[in-house]
Amino acid sequence: MAPPARPVWTGQIRLALVALPVKLYSALDSKEKISFNQIHEPSKQRIRYEKVAPGVGPVPNDEIVKGYEYQKGRYVLFSDEEFDALKVDSKKTLDMVQFAPADTIDPIYFDKPYYALPDGKLADEPYRVVREALKKTKTVGLGQITMRGRSYIAAVKPYEDGLTVETVHYAQELRAAKSFFDEIPTGKLDADLIDLAEELISRKKARFDASKFEDEYAAAIERLVKKKIERHGELVLEDQEEPSKDYGDNVVSLVDALKKSLAKKQGGAEAAAAKSAGKRPKAAAEKVRAAPRAKAPAKRAKK
């Protein structure tokens, strides 16, 4: 499939003196999902919103500016020209100034992915050289990129037969995890339970395949919209598809489930050991019975 007609960014990725011209295309599908409008039910007219100021009423767009509330009810106002003057120059070069092992970057930092394609035939060779070098060193090239008047950290990564550029969050953009997790209790855990949980995980372990997952809510909405149209707008409340699994009274805590599995596992092991031990004497006896008896030595005749 050919890439979209317009790239979101055009420029160069640089590795020291090696420059490769590229075009970036969003890796995310921009296909619109179903969206809804608010409707006045009696008249079937769409609800429209007016921008109003208390005591003034509706106001035109050219009288609206951005304001920052620095004190309750007090604002400093900014014009569009002031924001335009603040925009970072749209630099067209992504210098890879650092290379980090791919497994040292926490996935929580990654934001939006873009496919990077070579821009022109002369870019093909340096593009492939950089791709292979990143693959062999298992590293990610890091630098900064400017798009839409904003500066981002950018990670250049090999992906399948090409390269991707992924924007990366700045450290100050992420909330500290400790403030969320510091009340989780600590203490020694049952090693057997951890082993059993690992075993259950191992059974379901597989390479990630995004095609195995579906946006179930979006699919349900599409089915509902289709059914609504087919029924000319009448109420649709009955289940349209198979209901989701309801475990009812069978739901148990993870610890309880693991303990039951552990007990079952230990019981099975003990039974198997006892069974195996019970078989050994019988087998040994059969072996003895099956073995040919040695002939008794002949008595010497008396002279």
Residues 255-276: tens digit of each pLDDT: 677 767 666 666 666 666 666 6
First to last CA, the chain: 110
For residue range 30-79, list pLDDT tens digits in order. 666 778 899 999 998 999 888 999 999 999 989 999 999 999 989 999 98
What CA–CA distance (Å, rounded) separates 77 from 83?
Answer: 11
Cα(87)–Cα(95) distance, integer angstroms: 20
Q: What is the mean pLDDT of the chain?
A: 81
> Which CB contacts under 8 angstroms, 24+ apart, belong to 51-54?
none
Best-predicted range by mean pLDDT (207-221, 239-253, 270-284): 207-221
Which of 108-122, 172-186, 222-236 shows the highest mean pLDDT?
108-122
Note the residue count of the chain: 303
Statement: residue 28 has pLDDT above 60: yes
Q: How far apart are CA 20 and CA 66, in angstroms?
A: 40
pLDDT tens digits for 131-176? 999 999 999 999 999 888 788 999 999 999 999 999 999 999 999 8
Mean pLDDT calculated for residue range 116-143: 94
Q: What percent of the chain has pLDDT over 90?
A: 39
48, 130 in Cβ contact below 8 A?
Answer: no
Give the separation between CA 271 and CA 268, rounded to whole angstroms: 5
Measured N-to-C along each axis, helices 191-203 and 254-290 cross at an angle, to the nearest 10 degrees, of 80
C-alpha–C-alpha distance, residues 234 and 213, integer Å: 31
pTM value is 0.64
The position carrying tokens 């011209």 is 21
pLDDT score, position 175? 92
pLDDT tens string 212-236: 878 777 788 888 888 888 888 888 8
**Angle subtended at Cα 225 by Cα 223 and Cα 229, rounded to the nearest 5 degrees:** 115
Q: Token digits for 236?
A: 């649709």
Enter the tokens of residue 250. 């069978």
**R_g of the chain, CA atoms, integer Å:** 35
Q: What's CA 235's distance to the chain center, in Å?
A: 36
Which of 126, 116, 165 shows the shortest CA–CA distance to 143? 165
CATH placement of domain 9-28+88-171? 2.40.290.10
Domain boundaries of the chain, sorted by first residue: 9-28+88-171
Confidence check: pLDDT of 80 > 90: no
Residue 205 is encoded by which pair of tokens?
A: 């372990």
